[in-house]
Structure formats: C-alpha cells, structure tokens
Amino acid sequence: MAEDGRTTLSGLIRAVQKILTDAAIPEAALDGRLIVEHVTATTRTDAVARPDRLVDPGHAAAAHAAVARRVGGEPVHRILGWRDFHGLRLSLSAETLEPRQDTEAVVEAVLPSVLGAIERFGTCRILDLGTGTGAIALALLKEARAARADGADISEEALRTAVRNATAAGLSGRFRPVLSDWYSATEGRYHVIVSNPPYIRTQELGALQREVRQWDPIRALDGGTDGLKAFRTIAAGASLHLEVGGRVAVEIGYDQKCDVVSLFGRAGFRLIESKRDLPGQDRALVFGR
C-alpha cells in the first residue's frame, strides 16, 4: 500500500495471495498473481519493475471479487476465461472442458502422423471428435500448416468457442466446426482422427476435484459405467471414416490402456504408439489398421 493509503501493484498481489493461502487454495501464489495481472492488464515484468505502481480502485475491487470466486471453488482459468495450451491461448465456455497439459500428449503423439500424411499426400485431413475448445485440432494446425481440421461436437456453444479460438489463432481458414454426435454428421474420410473423449467412470465423478466436477461439463467427463463408452463409439466408426493408412489417437485415463487397446483390437486396429504424460502415466494412444 502506498503512503497515502492507495493500493500498489505489489500490495494487491500480496493481499490476494494471502487470502488464497489462508483459504488453503492450491497454487495460491500463482493464482493470485494471474488474477491481479488479468484485472489490471499488467505482466509479471510490471510487478518486478514497477511494484509501487498505483492500482485503480475499481481494478482492486475486481481482483478481490475474483479472489472470492476462487475461494468459492471456481478454477482460476474459468475466472480468467482462458487457458494456455500448446502455445495457444484458448477461450473457455461453460460447455467446454478446460484443456489441460495432459492432453498435449495426444498432440505430441499424433503430430508425426499428421506430418507424414502431408509428406505423402500434400495435406492432412483431421477429425477432432468432441473438439470442445478446439484444443487438439488447433494445436495440430498450428504445427502443420498444410493440414485442415473438422472439429465435431454435440454442443453449439462449444463449437462457437472453438471457432472463436481458431479465429484468434489465425487458423479459422483451416478449421471447420461440425455439429455432430460423434461421427453422425461428419463427411468423407480423414487421415487422422483425434479425441479427448469422456472417460471417467460414472461412479467416480463424485470423487473428482471440486474444480473439475463443478465446473467442467459433465458430459465431457462421464464415460459411462466402465469409462469406455466413448471409446467403443470411436473405435466402431473409425474404419468407415479413415483413409487407408490413417491413424486414430485418443486420450485415456491412467488405468485404461489395456482395456482401450483390447477394444480397438477387436475393431481391427493395432497400437502404434503409447505416450505418457509428465507424471509418467499412460495418456495418449495411437492406433492404425
């Protein structure tokens, strides 16, 4: 706080971080800094170089209002309205799953297949099933300039969010939203099919972190009794929608590798690659015929 009682940038950061720490919010220091940067339109550099910069009272009030939401359990990135994913800043909405770093394993696992298709055919046609924010499709388009992607989702609001993200990233010319229940409204064949489907067992939803179960859309989480419902649909329709030599890449739960490999095997697919996330859990599987 400045000598005249007004709030400084460093003072505001310390104040909101203390509130979050006292409320036992995980990563309180980071969340507090992100909130202050968001409402004051400042950066971490500003906090270091100009800690005594005065903060507008309205911005300080907005920061405290946002902190109250965080203490109430709302995830910090829902409050901010965006989350960074594979070098992209993606807008969120109530109908989209918040993209997380684990899902980057899918992008990394299937990107060689995308680039390989471009080398052979001059392009790669990608289908992202349950696209949500468009995270996987847009990350692949960013890395592969000759690729094109259809983002399929059952939610119109999710598709509007994905289009907004594609436009912000300068990728809208190569991204097409498709209102579709899985494959139902898709057309033609694709070189690559990707998906981060719902895979949490229904009976386990109540045990998820509060930030997940209360703020991520349930239909993007609920994988049915055994957590494999969406995988069955994806595997069953893949042959009809893949080009010869095409690949299917899916995100899985930490204990689902054997079951998903077996399920795709019965549909005529073999495991090409398995990739782990940063904690070392099996997270992304790539299949081919």
Distances (CA, A) of 279 to 25, 114, 247, 275: 21, 26, 25, 12
Instruction: Give the C-alpha separation, 102 to 99, whole Å.
Output: 8
Considering the domain architecture, whether residues 49 and 181 belong to the same structural domain is answered as: no
Together in a domain, 60 and 110: no
DSSP secondary structure of 76-105:
HHHHHTEEEETTEEEE--TTS----GGGHH
CA distance 110 to 214: 31
Find tokens 């993209």 and name the residue. Answer: 99
Q: Are residues 151 and 124 in the same domain?
A: yes
What's the mean pLDDT when you consider all of the chain?
96
Residues 150, 282 within the same domain: yes
Write the CATH number for 66.
Answer: 1.10.8
Could you tell me if 118 and 216 lie in one domain? yes
**Same domain membership, residue 99 and residue 24:** no
User: 37 and 116: one domain?
Assistant: no
Task: List pLDDT tens digits, range 171-211.
Answer: 999 999 999 999 999 999 999 999 999 999 999 999 999 89
Q: What is the pLDDT of residues 238-259, one digit of tens each?
A: 999 999 999 999 999 999 999 9
pTM of the predicted model as reported, rounded to 2 decimal places: 0.94
The pLDDT tens digits of the residues spanning 8-64 come to: 999 999 999 999 999 999 999 999 999 999 999 999 999 999 999 999 999 999 999
The residue written with tokens 């390989």 in the block is 116
In a shared domain, residues 96 and 115: yes
Question: Residue 2: its pLDDT value, please?
Answer: 46
On whether the CB atoms of residues 187 and 214 are closer than 8 A, the answer is no
The domain boundary residue, chosen from 49, 80, 111: 80
Is residue 85 assigned to a domain? no
Asked whether residue 86 is assigned to any structural domain, the reply reads no
Of 80, 106, 130, the position where a domain reaches its end is 80
241/172 same-domain check: yes
Q: How many helices (H) and strands (E) does the chain have?
A: 11, 9
| 105 and 72 housed in the same domain | no
**Is 4 inside a domain boundary?**
no
pLDDT of res. 5: 54
- Among the candidates 80, 114, 136, a domain finishes at 80
Q: How many domains does the structure of the chain reveal? A: 2
Domain span at residue 40 reads: 9-80
Residue 6 has a pLDDT of: 77
Query: What whole-number distance in Å separates Cα of residue 56 and Cα of residue 61?
Result: 9
